[in-house]
Amino acid sequence: MNGMLFEKLPLVNEISSPGRRGVLPPSADQSERRAARAKLPANLRRKAAPALPEVSELDAMRHFTRLSQKNYSIDAQFYPLGSCTMKYNPRINEKVAAMAGFARLHPMQESADIQGSLRIFHDLQEILKQVLGLGGVTLCPAAGAQGEFAGMAIIRAYHRDNNTGRDEVIIPDSAHGTNPASAAFAGFKVREVKSGADGCVDLDALRAAINDKTAAIMLTNPNTCGLFEKDIKEIARMIHAAGGLLYYDGANLNAIVGRARPGDMGFDVVHMNLHKTFSTPHGGGGPGAGPVGVAERLINYLPAPHVRKAGSKYEFYSPDRSIGKLLAFHANAGVIVRALSYAMSQGGTGLWDVATYATLNANYVLNNLPAVFERPFGNLCKHEALVTVRRISKEKDIKAFDIAKRLLDLGYHAPTIYFPLLVPECLLIEPTETESKETLDGFIAAMKQIATEIESTPDVLRNAPNELPTGRMDEAAAAKALNVCCQWGDVPMA
């Protein structure tokens, strides 16, 4: 089942043969070599030639190709990561973004020369305004976390201008982990509120947390339990009545896009992740995009530069009360192009289907897992299925961590584990709308096999992974004993 991904192959040093070469670079002039060597401090000069592998060009090509085939990727495998939405990136988006008219633009070109790109920015802003049900959208933030910060900075500026003296942000324990950091980074104090037994915000706890210092609530909806906040209208009423604003963490917008709008629920600020909802690439450190939408009364606080249409032309401008610049230039342009390509290819009906199938797939998985994977909040979820193995953790000493490692043996990337924090020994599974029933059936079969192994051969799980080139690492020791040091000349660098 693992196939080529986990096949044990020789290291490149093991196929090395003395004197074998693929490409021979031209020899350097000896006087130039001596002059270059003389410029290097003695402690940085090698005492002997590096022991590099000696292989042919064909062997080198095959070596790097095999390495690439060992990479786990969305193009080749299924990523059931909860709250991450690792889904397929349609190739038409890549083709459009690679067009010379987009890929070769310089960010300092005059607006008159980039009218096509400015129209793309403007068109996507308008589409996202409709999706979110809000008055204005900025594309500037380079990622979801920066979108969170931008949203909180807008809220901070709003309260500053209105002399409210409010400096506290309420954050439920079911929120995404970056929320408290973003609020604190924007200058707010954070007050956490607990969820109720149903996995949603406890209204009594929220009521107790609200006071004359409440600037906003940061709410992830659907939350990280995979549940839609059923009391959302009452939460909005309570916060607004107290003089605060509602911030919507839209990382889970995949579950409602095209079907429900945060603005209609009462939210004032929303960030969204284009790599989650609009199919742009995800992971690897970027690039990313985290657009922010705001209610009408907050438009003047949007970061600069913003794009607007002036007559028949498009232009950059800075809103009157702008929070300033977030990037050197305007957004990650290639990601914006991909997102517009996706939005236009889907259309309104297609975006409606995104939420439909994301929710259908998650519920299909949730309701077809063995009983050993308990459902703490019942048989219905939105776009991600949350299960827990807390019972067998106590009875069999099998942890969520063990199950995640065993899934690697069976050819599947592990789902998110131990998040959200309010459910012990949990696994958060998000199949996304792009996966087929056959793929989900394969994953369910793997989970059923693991359920059988919990009863029959538990040591297989405790020792997993058993069939990969590398076995289980002592991750706790690695985290606690940061004893890594490399030597650069005589200067140790930790």
Report the pLDDT value the prediction gives residue 198, as an integer from 0 to 100. Answer: 95
Range list of β-strands (E), 365-429: 385-388, 416-417, 426-429
Quote the CA–CA distance of 312 and 26 in Å, as a whole number.
Answer: 57
Quote the CA–CA distance of 304 and 296 in Å, as a whole number.
Answer: 17
Quote the CA–CA distance of 167 and 216 in Å, as a whole number.
Answer: 9
Question: Would you say residue 335 has pLDDT above 80?
Answer: yes
Give the bridge partners for 219, in sequence order.
248
End-to-end Cα spacing for the chain: 40
The number of residues in the chain equals 494
Q: Which two tokens stand for residue 204?
A: 């009594």
Question: Would you say residue 327 has pLDDT above 80?
Answer: yes
Total Cβ atoms within 10 A of residue 164: 15
CATH of domain 91-346: 3.40.640.10
Q: Which two tokens stand for residue 391?
A: 């019972």
Report the pLDDT value the prediction gives residue 483, as an integer from 0 to 100. Answer: 65
Mean pLDDT of the chain: 91
**Selected residue with higher pLDDT from 286 and 60:** 60
Q: What tens digit of pLDDT does each residue of 87-128 get?
A: 888 999 999 999 999 999 898 999 999 999 999 999 999 999
Question: Would you say residue 489 has pLDDT above 70?
Answer: no
Q: Which two tokens stand for residue 286?
A: 């970027």
Helices (H) and strands (E) in the chain, counts: 17, 14
Taken in order 299, 288, 266, 308, is the CA torsion positive or negative?
positive
Q: Which two tokens stand for residue 285?
A: 């450190």
- Give the amino acid at 260: A
Report the pLDDT value the prediction gives residue 7, as an integer from 0 to 100. Answer: 62
Query: Which pTM was predicted?
Result: 0.88
Interval 81-92 mean pLDDT: 90
Interval 217-223 mean pLDDT: 95
What is the domain partition of the chain in residue ranges? 91-346
Interval 316-323 mean pLDDT: 95
Q: What tens digit of pLDDT does each residue of 342-389 get?
A: 999 999 999 999 999 999 999 999 999 999 999 999 999 999 999 999
Interval 384-397 mean pLDDT: 96
Report the pLDDT value the prediction gives residue 285, as an integer from 0 to 100. Answer: 59
Q: Which helix (H) or strand (E) holds 426?
A: strand 426-429
Going from the C-alpha of 377 to that of each of 144, 199, 388, 390, 424, the distances in angstroms are 27, 7, 10, 14, 13
Question: Would you say residue 440 has pLDDT above 80?
Answer: yes
Report the pLDDT value the prediction gives residue 288, as an integer from 0 to 100. Answer: 87
Q: What angle do CA 67, 69, 75 make, to 5 degrees?
A: 140
Report the pLDDT value the prediction gives residue 492, as an integer from 0 to 100. Answer: 37
Question: Would you say residue 21 has pLDDT above 90?
Answer: no
Alpha helices in 166-308 (DSSP H): 178-185, 203-209, 232-241, 262-265, 274-277
Report the pLDDT value the prediction gives residue 409, as an integer from 0 to 100. Answer: 94
| Residue partners of 380: CB distance under 8 A and separation at least 6 | 363, 366
Question: Would you say residue 491 has pLDDT above 60?
Answer: no
Going from the C-alpha of 351 to that of each of 255, 257, 291, 324, 354, the distances in angstroms are 10, 6, 17, 32, 5
Question: Would you say residue 51 has pLDDT above 50?
Answer: yes
Q: Which two tokens stand for residue 317?
A: 């401008």
Q: Which two tokens stand for residue 437?
A: 């029933």
Helix (H, G, I), strand (E, B) or coil at 150: helix
